[in-house]
Structure 1
Amino acid sequence: MSDWDARYSARTGKMRASEVRELLKLLDQPDIISFAGGIPDPALFPKDAIKDAYAAVLNENADAALQYSVSEGYKPLRQWLVQYMASLGVACTIDNIIITTGSQQALDYLGKLFISPGDTILTTWPTYLGALQAFNAYEPHYDRLIPEGGNMTPDAYRANERAAGGHVKLAYLTSDFSNPTGETIGRSDRMKLIDLAHELDIPLIEDAAYRALRYEGENAPSLLALDIEREGHIDQTRILYSGSFSKTLTPGLRVGWICAAHPVISKLVLIKQAADLHSPTINQMVIHHVAERHFDAQVEKARKHYRQRRDHMLNALARYMPEGVTWTKPEGGMFVWMTLPDHMDGAALLARSIEQIRVAFVPGAAFHADGTGKNTIRLNFSLPDAAAIDTGMQRLGGLIQSEMEQVRK
């Protein structure tokens, strides 16, 4: 069979390679200074605790660890997550939680559950690239979600939905330290988003992958906590909370979770049964073992470490970036979002940056559902050390200055 393309399903036309995953291949080149991936620093991984956890699990319960298990997830881990969600103001039971193979699987499952071809998803401009990739397979349209309200009323969204020929089915956003911008949504704007979801009668996915990594400022309640306060019970809410251990403990074990109303969890269990039966039991048991003993200390360690990296990057940006370049100042997370002069293209700048100064970052257009935002780039500060940040920002600032001078000539 020679023409495979003619035999793929129509939805594969929506699939695109991740610009971030492709850029990660550059990490194998030792002379590249990379600000591209949203990668935790491996120096923080609780390696000894994980090693001890695997030994304990295999010594004490190897039969269960290596066997098939229930699709909902390892019960003691779900019980731990009930207590963790309670610390965020979310009262729930294990019936409100399903374990997923990382939060990326959670997004894929939620897309599969709610999106039919031609339906509309509301999301911020820009938004998490991985969410766009997960949802694109289900052939949606996108409309711009403006957390502060703007002029997009429910009636305006409905008019756009009719023009697109589908229905507004879902909203998605990161409420704390967004990937890619690093920005956080304030409490009043969170309430507006909840009001909008209720008026449109749609679920809203709250991607909370970075919530634990706050370095300063005041915590705002999660959207799920606010909606429970409003509705009285988690089974009456429309917020779908997606969490992950990737940024707090380790990404390699691929353990995430969804916390939501029980009817939604029941449907997700059916999807998981058909997809992979269950997430690896031994990894869930190890994550539970480590979280139960080390989670709070590990989070505090990560906060201190990444706060220093963030501060170093913000100081380097202030020193080396030319006038006309702006950037966000995140209170947490792993990213700074840079806006270049209007005439500059982030993808073209990346090509020259790799060739001339050996510095990598992610062009911003990839994070926009409509391909706009070409004059933006995302910078990660969690992986490069202080020396790399200094050198990389000095080189990048010099390149941007040179590009700006070329335009003036």
Structure 2
Amino acid sequence: MSVLAVSAPLEREDAIVREAARHGHRVAIRAATAADLIDRLAARSSDAAPALDLVLVVADEHHASRALVDACDARGLRLVALADDAAERARARTLGLEAVAWADGFAAIEAAAAPAAAGLPSRSRPRGRVITVWGPAGAPGRTTTAIALAAELALLGGSTALVDADTTSASIAPALGLLDESPGFAAAARLARAGSLTVDELDRIAQQVPTMGGVLRVLTGIGRASRWPELGADRVAEVLERCRDWADATVVDVASSLEQDEEISSDMFAPRRHAATLAALEAADEVVVVASGDAVGVARLVRALPELRAIAPSARTRVVVNKLRPSAVGVAPERAVQETLRRLAQVSPAACWPFDGRAADAALLEGRPLVDVAGRSRLRRRVQELALALQPREAQPSRASLRAAERPRRAWRAAVR
């Protein structure tokens, strides 16, 4: 016998109770809303009542919420969503919940509850990754990389978000032809400060950008650099933490400066000029470092890498040398850069990308990622290789699936023009 907690519309709730009893289970909590269920779970954890085996909710705005997911995760409770239409399935997917259909019968619910009913520890729901794209001063191609990489990750499957956290020169909105009068990232930071940032709010304030691989959800950056105090470190960290529940992969574009100005500030609690960059690097699971493939760009990279490692010691760092060309480096530029970095910084670049101004200019002209406008270019192919390397091993696609994903390119481009 399993012990359940249920939150659903009254008619559905009564049906769940009847079916649960018929299958030998007991409903211990019946809650009218997600907030009510959270309170009931908190009260139950403080008394000697039997432990719950499953929390079952209807995946609508009244009965399934991010706060409920967090409350169940904190208590190690298995949470399953009932989803019978497209909207409910979409909400369950957004919240990272396993969804079953009521029409499939109570046996489907029992199957979803099997790990908990067998006394096994419930598996925590997978959370998204944060990939921060950073590069030293200059114009190594951080924004182009962030946009192209996000589009490639979307093409590989899974939901993808693109965040502009550059407080010096936010560029994602103009690069994608988006309006930025109401910066999405700043709005998310305000909601985080008020304690009201949810997945639903992120969906509301994000702009949707259709690409060949799927829809990118974009949080645009601040249009004026003078607004940097709105993006404090704690707010940025909270937004990116919530993004883990919002998307499978969140690609963050940040500014170049790693300066920490505590020593030159008389007020230790004042906002820090480059807090957004530092917080995004600290929150990252992966840091993609983009440097220009010339003498100046490589020198800046060598000097900055030790400081970067100190800021983000737990993140995996992948160095990309961009805009590589013989005219700036000499014969065999890729080998020359690799040897230089190994000798001076004890690092081997994960990728060396050719200077492909034609492909980059086409993407900027049309306001679309590389995959949409220059899918056969050398630069796009190198970005795709990096996106594949960033995929978790269990999510690596086969070559057949990659070819199948790219077949609709011409039809898609014709449709959006």
More strand by share: 2
TM-score bucket (shorter structure): under 0.3
Higher Cα Rg: structure 1 or 2? 2
Q: Structure 2 length normalisation: TM-score?
A: 0.26
Higher relative contact order (CA 8 A, sep 6+): 1
When the two structures are superposed, what TM-score results if normalisation uses the length of structure 1? 0.26
